[in-house]
Amino acid sequence: MTRVESRTEPPPDPNPAVRRRGSRWTRGRVLAGLAAFTAALLLGHRLVPNTPGRLGSLLEAFLPWLGVVVPVLLGAALQRRSATALLALLLPVAAWAYQFGGLLLPGDAPTRAGLDVVQHNASDENTDPAATARALAAGRPRLIALEELLPSAVPAYEKALGRAYPYHAVRGTVGLWSRYPLTGVRAVDIRPRDLPDDWRRGLRAVVRTPHGEVAAYVAHLPSVRLGAGGFGSGRRDESARLLGDALEAERTRAVILLGDLNGTVDDRGLRPLTSRLNASGRGLAFSFPEAFPVARIDQIMARGGTVGRIRTLPATGSDHLPITARITLR
């Protein structure tokens, strides 16, 4: 008699594809690596070399936008059902919050000793400078700094601002309008060596405020270009070094810098300025381009004072948005 052995077959795998991909802790390692790399860029951007093509400066110009990587990786991690990738996403979230989270917090309460200022690249293609002037003066700031002033447009600004701002100075294509008397007005030479002698974009004046004298600088650094050779910031960087030297030599205790610096405060090309002056710790205030602002290249900085929350103002006839802040003098 033949003995027949019975065998119990294992049940079929209900989802063999998931089994092949591994568990939720072993899947998504590439996503986790990308999350860690994003966090490393946020915290270690200074370590990215600037050659070739000034890649470091290019990264720093758009550094806050690395945060966009987080929702992209989050969607991919959820699709892969990867616990490892989801956990790794905490790294770029924490790094972004460390770098930029403070900018989203509300500013300190205004103080009576504050000096409200407005900075604006008014554009040399502005077709209605008088309307721009009225818009900038609507908030009654104490100082208004302007760049890209064409000689033909200066009379319109003088007429529109003259009553509320009886003191003003223009040197080249930059100007300063003030409610307080100005003294010691002079041009500041920030011209890169390969540009013509009539290139004048720097101004310095001492503002006699009720809280003491303040040296106000208005500057428009050269533009940067992104091309086949990389991030073209050489002229901008040279001009920043010249302006930094002027600030270093300034003997007035309180100093304000207002200008279109064609760079963000994270850009290492502006280190000659950011190492000598403090910037605001509140407000993103992206100012350029006006149609879809992606970076704040217009800046308000100070020495001997604290720059409060920076805000953008409504659009004028320029391709930049105006920015404003209150500076509390020490």
Q: Where are the domains of the chain?
A: 16-104, 114-329
What pLDDT was estimated at residue 50? Answer: 87
Return d(Cα 313, Cα 125) in angstroms, integer: 19
pLDDT at 263 over 70: yes
The dihedrals phi and psi of 182, each to the nearest 5 degrees, come to -115, 140
pLDDT above 90 covers a percentage of the chain that reads: 83
DSSP three-state, residue 49:
coil
DSSP string, 184-220: EEEE-----TTS-TT---EEEEEEEETTEEEEEEEEE
Domain 114-329 classification at class level: alpha beta
pLDDT for res 36: 97
Residue 9 — very low, low, confident or very high, per pLDDT cuts 50/70/90?
low
Measured distance CA(64)–CA(266) in Å, rounded: 10
Q: Report CA Rg, the chain.
A: 27
For residues 285 and 295, the answer to whether their CB atoms sit within 8 Å is no
pLDDT tens by residue, 306-329: 999 999 999 999 999 999 999 999
The mean pLDDT value for 86-90 works out to: 96
Name which residue leads in pLDDT, 113 or 202.
202
Identify the weakest region by mean pLDDT among 48-52, 88-92, 275-279: 48-52
Q: What confidence tens digit (pLDDT) does each residue in 113-153 have? A: 689 999 999 999 999 999 999 999 999 999 999 999 999 99
The percent helix, strand, coil of the chain (3-state, each to 5) is 35, 25, 40
Q: What is the DSSP string of 149-184?
A: --TTTHHHHHHHHTTT--EEEEETTEEEEESS-EEE
Per-residue burial over 198-208, b = 16 or more CB atoms within 10 Å of its CB, e = otherwise: ebbbbbbbbbb
What is the pLDDT, as a whole number, of residue 320? Answer: 98
d(CA 91, CA 325): 32
Q: Provide the pLDDT for residue 4.
A: 53
CB 143 within 8 A of CB 323: no
Least confident of 12-26, 63-77, 98-112, 306-320: 12-26
Q: Taking a C-beta distance cutoff of 8 angstroms, is the pair 141, 116 a contact?
A: yes
CA dihedral (224, 226, 232, 233) positive or negative: positive
> Band of the pLDDT at 52, cuts 50, 70, 90?
confident
- pLDDT grade for 53, boundaries at 50, 70 and 90: confident
Q: Residue 316: which H helix or E strand, with range?
A: none
Q: Which stretch of 108-122, 258-272, 288-302 has the lowest confidence by average pLDDT?
A: 108-122
Q: What residues contact residue 112 under an 8 Å CB cut-off, 6+ apart?
A: none
Beta bridge partner(s), residue 119: 145, 323
The pLDDT score that the predictor gives to residue 225 is 87
Q: Average pLDDT, whole number, for the chain?
A: 92
Asked if residues 190 and 219 have their Cβ atoms less than 8 Å apart, the reply is yes
Q: How far apart are CA 56 and CA 49, in angstroms?
A: 6
If pLDDT is split at 50, 70 and 90, which confidence band does 1 have? low
